[in-house]
Amino acid sequence: MRAAKLRFSGVLSLGLLATAAHAAPAAVCAHPQLCSLLVDGAYGNYVIGTLIYVGNSAAVRSLVASAKARGLWKHLPTDAEQYVRRVKPVAIQHEEDGKLVTSTVFMEVAEFEAAPLRIGDLVRYTPHDGSVDPPPNDPQAAALFHGLTGCVATLCARDDQRCMSQYRSGLFAKKTGIQIDYRTLKPKSSGLSIDPVSLIPKQ
């Protein structure tokens, strides 16, 4: 997993944060709802929040072009159509220090089509577990499976406030449940913790 955090600066430009000594030249982000990538590839921890957007084929092509133009996703296939066939970008909105922010993550098209995801549902993203989720046999599909996509599942229906009240939105470490800072991707010293299995906040 690459540690550099990525953020689109504004809604229509791409910047490299954390590891870049100077601001990167602007790059077009044609789909503002999907302009906040956490890392260069598949994010390795939990993202819990509200599903607010699902990208279409045009959005996928735009994201691939922008990422490749910036020198990202070098470990992933070069053919954009591989992504169109296999990858679905989704935007998850969550709270960060009292403000709402958005993280873009990716799931397999087959998993998206099998899952009853609805805009407004409370969802959780987690990276694929290779020991539990066997990757595809096709090499390019396997590269996207391991290197870009994770699993997005519904925790609560959008109209189930009682269910939603059990959870807290944000980024959380997969192994420990410790809350992670959206800006630095490091554990928060004063953040809450969730149970890494149930995802319910610890008392």
pLDDT digits (tens, 9 = 90+) for 41-91: 999 999 999 999 999 999 999 999 988 988 899 999 999 999 999 999 999
The pLDDT assigned to 196 comes to 95
Mention every residue, 6+ apart, whose C-beta is less than 8 A from residue 150: 42, 43, 105, 106, 107, 125, 126, 127, 128
Query: Is residue 30 within 8 Å of residue 22, measured between CB atoms?
Result: no
The pLDDT assigned to 136 comes to 74
The residue-averaged pLDDT of 160-172 equals 96
Question: Which residue, chain included where needed, has tokens 């890494």?
Answer: 196
pLDDT digits (tens, 9 = 90+) for 95-148: 998 899 999 999 999 999 998 899 999 999 999 876 566 667 788 888 999 899
Structural tokens at position 145 = 């499976």
pLDDT digits (tens, 9 = 90+) for 138-158: 888 889 998 999 999 999 999
The pLDDT assigned to 107 comes to 95
Structural tokens at position 92 = 């998850």
Q: In 33-121, which residue ranges form alpha helices assigned H by DSSP?
A: 57-69, 80-86, 109-114
Length of the chain: 203
- Of 33, 37, 45, the C-alpha closest to 18 is 37
